[in-house]
Amino acid sequence: MRYMLLHKTNDSLEAGNPPDPEILERADAVLEEMRQAGVLVLGEGLMPSSRGARVTFPVPGQPRVIDGPFAETKELVAGVSIIRVDSKEEAVQWALRFAEADPNTPIDILEIAG
């Protein structure tokens, strides 16, 4: 099974500030553990929402493109990891390793369909 770990952002990252070097070092160590364990499919950081856009459909069939930044920081993502593991419980265990690296950053764990 594949799972996506969505690493939430914070106001500082959204403002374009670099991540805390110590937290980044610890998170990179977790990514390396995942590589060594053979479970990491992808692990990437994302730029602030000010560098992105959102497509909505306020009227069916008529897309609307909104440039970032987006207001709700708690809904935004600073990074994504995709892992291949045997169970949701194993995915949770890997997410907990990231929580040790940065205990203030929520992580959503979602199973990938297919």
In which region does residue 52 sit, left (phi positive, over 0), alpha (psi from -120 to 50) or beta (all else)?
beta
Q: What secondary structure does DSSP assign to 54-84, as a single string?
A: EEEEEETTEEEEEESP-S-GGG-EEEEEEEE
Domain ranges within the chain, ordered by starting residue: 2-112
* Superfamily (CATH) of domain 2-112: Dimeric alpha+beta barrel (3.30.70.1060)
Q: Token pair of 6, please?
A: 């969505």
The rounded percent of the chain whose pLDDT value lies above 90 is 88
End-to-end CA distance of the chain: 9
Query: pLDDT for 19-56, tens place per residue?
Result: 999 999 999 999 999 999 999 999 999 999 999 999 99
Mean pLDDT of the chain, nearest integer: 94
Residue 71 has a pLDDT of 82
